Structure 1
């Protein structure tokens, strides 16, 4: 019986259009979440897929010893591709010349992602037996040999490497890289028991298989073995990908908040529409259980329709966007089930928790309302509605993001918006208290309307402000991220780096670049040294600790040290002052935290078997993602004066100036030249894809915000129609009503703009400091631009929607049913 009655009620109201608002809100919620999740995950998979070329695989296991073969067998069972390689240092000889090199011994599957770029390479060229592919500078260092000796065998210099996909960006790696076949290693006799060798196991495959393999293998790895993905480390691409993923996650999370606001507003309107129905049912003797069952089933039908339409809309949106994506992004397809499940969960959780309180009010409607229409439900624990709404938002946010910081930021912003709305509502009521129903001027009539509809206006302010907050937040973060990436990779970014510059070559090299009208960056001196003690306490390496030795943990390798008289551009002092005394040093914040040191602590370095003691004068934040030399420690010149050093510098050359590089090589044969132009091009490709992703998400957010504003404008039409009829009856002219309506919506839009800027600045402060690690800046332009834009936008929406009502006569208004 209840099912039949619920279906008849649903069918009748659907045909009459009375369910349009709540179905539209549910559809918008599911569409926003499903569409944003689908597009975001596709972009996320594409960005990670393109970025994985930087490590020549999707995942890597880095180990100082061979790993268990059963682990590798498990990867094969999951359908993952596998490439094995060894990395070690060795001397190569060509006649009387010799050079230390970094050897990469690889199998036939290398690389799994990207490709090795060779000079004058042929399609499908393979590394042959007893052949070497060598870095460009090695041939010059060995006087252009045709073959070299490695250990017990002679190997042919087969091809010159222009770029390795996983070559990285280590300017201090002074040893040239050579590639050889993995099955040639035994014949060299170089690798013996106890040799320092790095075993690399690279994997590529489906995202779900990689995730399953990661869950399987991580607990089995020792402390000396590392699981590496494209986001590991402080590389430029790692930072770009991490921030892009956080942005896409935040966009979807804000979409959920927007959807929650839309559903909460629609639920209020849904229940208000059914006050008379409940009163009539109670008058005819329906029990509370029957009424609960009826409206529970009715709401379930409404929710199912809204969810189904939202899912269809989300996938239609994805289908519409896919053809305009670049081919390298459109080729990737993210997981399909997660957006579907998230959309369904959003629809049902928000419909339940945002409708709970309005439904309680609905069920408590007294039967006497049949005779006295002004009667409403008794006030039942308003705080319960607030708590349930915040819990619903937090639950959905956590389900989607798994990020406590992002979830709390969104919920905190909503709480702040609620407090500001309460204050603004009080001010609006106070401003309109003495106005009453005066019709002497449009301003007086607009203020009177704001006062009479104070509760409804508060609800509308929630929708308008939420849409503007979402839009401003996404717009600001997108612009800040793009600006930072453009600063890191400007058009004239250095694409050539010079290392191993001898002190006596600094001035001739400077003169050379000036004579060729090439702008060179600062020259950085480089000295190798090891941190040996902190405050007189000797340090041990992680390897020593693993062997059972006791002591304070230090850094397991030599550091590249430099001196500077001024702070580098990509550094920022967090505490203390930059070096002023001879015995002072500036330390990078991450290293300071890892070592547990602070201002005034004494560090002891061992350089050329000599001890150098310095005091920490400052702690710096370093932008590691910039393609510039960065250092953990910066000394004064006096502190490092006794030691021999080499220098490094960088400059930018257009592709048409290649002859400058050749001339430089001839004049300075001992200076190593590293061409990072290809890496910069690849990085720019990643950044371009990320920019496309940010722009698409911004467009979707604008569309979602517009839909919420339109739905909000629609929500108050029934009440406004009745008031227009009354005002027309008392003689108000069409022009007066038109201006008053425009002003009322404009005031709501302006107030929404002020609230939105306040909440957005609060949210951006948290997001930039805790999530994106961006510099916090105030947006002064917003404080007048957002209210003006909000006033204009909301006034236009309101006037367009009310235009039909304003043209009707009093009789026509009274006959209308909305």
Structure 2
């Protein structure tokens, strides 16, 4: 049995206090990042569900059948029908994109509406009641409507009661958007507009638990009609990009890096602690104690002693997440699953046991006489295996917690393999230096021999310093790069209005209005609507498989085509195959669409337009950031490639804050113009970026704390041995000047080697980081120099710590255990 007084005895040892601090920071960091990851996962899922309209959506050209609805009665439901129609007010008519929605819409998110044309936006839980209609701003301006006016859709008169500002599932591209109209599904039949051949899309949006959604999916699959298909969250998540998805990956990386750092610190502190407990284990075995009893005595006492540090760290991490949630305005219950809580509570102890058990088991297998005579020899092979296990265990644990083995596996493998192998690869270099040190001055010779003749101390120390430096530099690199990308994506004066249907004759009046309102214009893009009909001379229906739903959707509608007016590649585009700009007679194609249609470079595509046909050869494939709030296109033709077509102009601009009367004046002068206000979307995106920035700052602080802990534990771990070495030099007649030079050279060699290893790791990690977080771009920056700067800091700190031993009695240092 353990005595109560013995539970606090380990705290008297400095090595145990370092171990307890490492476990406390590991508990704080793991609790914070695991819970933060759960919060971000939940919000990413919610955002995807809002864009999709539900956890599962049944789409068809006809409403769902009664028997299908019966299968889904346990789920939240919302039905909508989307179709183009004509809105009539007196003698005026306007083509609009109409949506009829029932009381269950929206399943996720909130509608944004306003009680008047120039009133503030407010959330709405449901859409208009029967007999009412809501319209977008431009529809009111076009028809000169005010709240309370009556309009007619087909045969049904409706009363205007609110202005639509934003719909939660309005995730389609801007190009397909006419002025929006929303009314109640109960009025749809009375309008009489849905006759045979009408272009209408019925959507049944479903919400519920994951198990209920899985059951509904399995039940619907056998009864789907030919015109129906199911859209899932995976479909929406595949198209959802932007800061939230990048931040989720970044936090996953943070979990892994923090675990790796804390594991390295625990490894160093455990190594020191085990060395100090070796003599006790040998004495117990000499008096007849069995191995199990020795392990129980050594582990049991310390297991209870570290619990307060782990509990305190976990509570601080939980408090940190609650503070972050309050700062970000997150009101929902904590998103962590039972598995997350098990990881938060047990993770630090699992890390400790992963390091303590192998070291202690080695200790109890070593003959007691060897321990008592200080003849424990470190075998390099077993040391490297131990080191690899120490680096791999926290990474595997964190990867399993975050589910990031697939997304970040390449980077993880690099960190573990290089962290373990680079120091051992440098070991032959140290041995060569040791052999060649005979020609060096005495100080250099002693410094090199201190490092080369203690592999059991030097290798773990070098590996830990390398990992800490590499992780700090990687954290700073990725965090700063993400923040820069987000700021560049949404600058302060990002375009908040998009303009369509702008003709050549409208440009003077439009430019004059822009100057009057101090608006900041963006480039003008010539656009033509065309339908893809042939690929390499074959009808497109024959060239594209019918099983590819994404391709079929692209074929069943007109595409917006443009031509290059500026040879500079748009910021939101990146050429992945081919050259830019497209040569005459060629076209550049968006990568995802090209993949769905099976298009490659040198293929020929043929379009039918209002003025005939357009044929071009594909010269390049582009990756497009559709979340950039910039005009983007599937097909971009060479300059003058659309010169014979009916061209209209598309552009965007930033309009300073103010009321909507300015836009109303423009639409009165140019009534056919379509202006899309995206301020609500910008506000939502900027809010996400603000939250992402705060979360990134929190993660950076945790990584910094963990990295500093590793650096401190590594240097403190070597301090005792360095003090004994210096004491021996003093005993043999070495003066303080010699000791200072030896300490400087030893620390500088160690710091430089670690900085070099960390720089090599960073260079190797740039490619997987660029692929996963930065769309293939390599994030070069000044952070690559950080490991070398940290190496110099390690050298200065090592000298500072070594100087303390010069003021302690040499005999006392030599007798220290």
Deviation at 1:350, TM superposition (A): 3.9
Q: Greater shift after overlay, 758-767 or 720-729?
A: 720-729
Query: How far apart, CA to CA, are the structure 2 residues paired with 1:379 and 1:429?
Result: 13
Alpha-carbon contact 2:457-2:718 (below 8 Å) kept:
yes
Q: Are the aligned partners of 1:751 and 1:787 in contact in 2 as well (CA < 8 Å)?
A: no
Assess, with a 3 A threshold, how the Cα gap between structure 1 residues 578 and 594 changes in structure 2: closer, same or farther: same
2:57 aligned residue (57, 61, 64): 61
Q: Deviations over 1:2-35 (max 9, x none)?
A: xx48999977656556644444444443443223
Pick aligned residue for 2:590 from 588, 591, 613: 588
**Count, aligned residues:** 797
Q: Shift in Å at residue 695 of structure 1?
A: 1.0
For 1:255 and 1:191, how far apart are their aligned partners in 2? 58
**What does residue 721 of structure 1 align with?**
723
Q: Which residue matches 1:90?
A: 85
Contact 1:58 1:229 in 2 (8 A): no
Could you tell me whether the CA contact under 8 Å between 1:63 and 1:226 is conserved in 2? Answer: yes
Aligned position for 1:227: 232
Which residues in structure 2 correspond to 1:242-641 (within 5 Å)?
Answer: 242-285=245-288, 290-292=290-292, 294-295=294-295, 298-299=298-299, 302-303=302-303, 306=306, 309-320=309-320, 322-323=322-323, 327-332=327-332, 333-335=334-336, 337-343=338-344, 346-347=347-348, 349-351=350-352, 353-355=354-356, 357-369=358-370, 372-376=373-377, 384-385=385-386, 388-389=389-390, 392-393=393-394, 395-403=396-404, 404-433=406-435, 441=443, 446-510=447-511, 512-514=513-515, 518-540=519-541, 545=546, 555-565=555-565, 566-570=567-571, 571-578=573-580, 581-608=583-610, 610-636=612-638, 638-641=640-643
Moved more, 179-188 or 321-330: 321-330
Residue among 79, 100, 108 paired with 2:95: 100
1:358 is paired with a residue whose SS is helix
Q: Secondary structure at the match of 2:176?
A: coil
Alpha-carbon displacement from aligned partner over 1:503-548 (angstroms, at most 9, x marks no partner): 3323553455356654422211221112122112222399993799
State whether residues 413 and 762 of structure 1, in contact with CA within 8 Å, keep that contact through their aligned partners in structure 2.
no
Tell me if the contact between 1:58 and 1:230 (Cα under 8 Å) persists in the aligned partners: no
| Partner secondary structure for residue 617 of structure 1 | strand
Is the contact made by 2:584 and 2:641 (CA closer than 8 Å) also made in structure 1? yes
Q: 1:161-182, CA deviations, whole angstroms, 9 ceiling, x for partnerless residues? A: 3444444463213421111122
CA-to-aligned-CA distance 1:301-334 (integer Å, 9 cap, x gap):
6456546632541231331453365544453423
> CA separation of 1:766/1:546 partners in 2, compared to 1, >3 Å: closer, same or farther?
closer
- The 2-side partners of 1:224 and 1:581 are apart by 40
Q: Aligned equivalents of 1:423 and 1:6: distance in 2?
A: 47
Where 1:190 maps in the other structure, the secondary structure is coil
Residue 694 of structure 2 is aligned to residue 695 of structure 1: no
Q: Is the 8 A contact 1:584 1:617 kept in 2?
A: yes
User: Match for residue 674 of structure 1?
Assistant: 676
Give the conservation status (yes or no) of the 8 Å contact 2:481–2:779: no
Q: For residues 321 and 382 of structure 1, do their structure 2 counterparts lie closer, same or farther at Cα, with a shift above 3 Å needed?
A: closer
Q: Following the alignment from structure 1 to structure 2, what is the Cα–Cα distance between the partners of residues 63 and 305?
A: 59
CA distance in structure 2 between the aligned counterparts of 1:321 and 1:583, rounded to whole angstroms: 57
In structure 1, C-alpha distance between the alignment counterparts of 2:299 and 2:262, rounded to whole Å: 17
Distance change >3 Å, CA 747–CA 388, structure 1 → 2: closer
Q: Evaluate the alpha carbon distance shift between residue 71 and residue 327 of structure 1 in structure 2; reply closer, same or farther with a 3 A threshold.
A: farther
Bigger shift: 185-194 or 718-727? 185-194
Task: Return 519-528 or 385-394, whichever deviates more.
Answer: 385-394
Residue number in structure 2 paired with 1:36: 33
* 1:734–1:806 Cα contact (<8 Å) kept: yes
8 A Cα contact 1:90 1:100, kept in partner: yes
What is residue 170 of structure 1 aligned with on the other side?
Answer: 173
Q: Identify the match of residue 116 of structure 1 among 85, 88, 112.
A: 112
Q: Deviations over 1:376-395 (max 9, x none)?
A: 37777566546645663553
3-state SS, counterpart of residue 335 of structure 2: coil
Within a 5 Å distance, the mapping from 1:656-671 to structure 2 comes to 656=658, 660-671=662-673
Worse overlay, 31-40 or 729-738: 729-738
Alpha-carbon contact 1:527-1:644 (below 8 Å) kept: yes
Higher mean C-alpha displacement, 158-167 vs 590-599: 158-167
Structure 1 contact 738–806 (Cα < 8 Å) conserved = no
What's the offset of the Cα at 1:69? 7.2
Q: Select between 806-815 and 691-700 the one with higher mean Cα deviation.
A: 806-815
**Contact 1:74–1:213 (8 Å) recurs in 2:** no
Deviation per CA, 1:626-652: give whole Å up to 9, x if none. Answer: 111111111235443333232111111
| Cα distance in 2 between the residues matched to 1:595 and 1:484 | 30
Gaps of 5+ in 1: none
Shift of 1:680: 1.3
CA distance in 2, matches of 1:481, 1:284: 60
Per the alignment, residue 212 of structure 1 pairs with: 211
For residues 188 and 89 of structure 2, what CA distance do their matches in structure 1 show?
19
Alpha-carbon distance change, 203 to 258 in structure 1, aligned in 2, over 3 angstroms? farther
Moved more, 8-17 or 654-663: 8-17
- SS state of the match for residue 38, structure 2? helix
Which residue number corresponds to residue 791 of structure 1?
A: 792
Residues 282, 321 of structure 1: alpha-carbon distance in 2 compared, 3 angstrom cutoff:
closer
| Residue 75 of structure 1, CA deviation | 7.6
Q: Hey, what's the Cα distance between the residues in 1 that align with 2:80 and 2:543?
A: 24
Please tell me whether the aligned partners of residues 553 and 595 of structure 1 are also in contact (alpha carbons under 8 angstroms). no
| 1:133 corresponds to | 134
Larger CA deviation: 552-561 vs 174-183: 552-561
Instruction: Find 1:775's aligned residue among 760, 774, 777.
Output: 777
Contact 2:56 2:206 in 1 (8 A): yes
* 1:31-59 deviation digits (Å, cap 9, x = unpaired): 4322321233335545766x579649664
CA contact (8 A) 2:468 2:710 kept: yes
CA contact (8 A) 1:496 1:676 kept: yes
Cα distance in 2 for residues equivalent to 1:358 and 1:268: 7
Quickly say closer, same or farther: Cα 1:308–1:169, change in 2 above 3 A.
farther
Cα gap change, 1:807 to 1:57, in 2 (>3 Å)? farther
Alpha carbon RMSD of aligned pairs, Å?
Answer: 3.9
Residues 789 and 385 of structure 1: is their aligned pair in 2 closer, same or farther, counting only changes over 3 Å?
closer
Rounded Cα–Cα distance in structure 2 between residues aligned with 1:614 and 1:32 = 55
Secondary structure of 1:493's partner? coil
**Bigger Cα displacement from structure 2, 640-649 vs 35-44:** 35-44
Deviations 1:683-714 (A, max 9, x none): 11111111111111111111111122222223
Q: 1:428 to 1:768 in 2, by over 3 A?
A: same
Alignment correspondent of 2:655? 653
Give unmatched runs, 5+ long, in structure 2: none
Q: 1:601 offset after TM fit, Å? A: 1.0
Residues 746 and 580 (structure 1), Cα distance of their counterparts in 2 relative to 1, 3 Å cut = closer
* TM-score normalised over the length of structure 1: 0.86
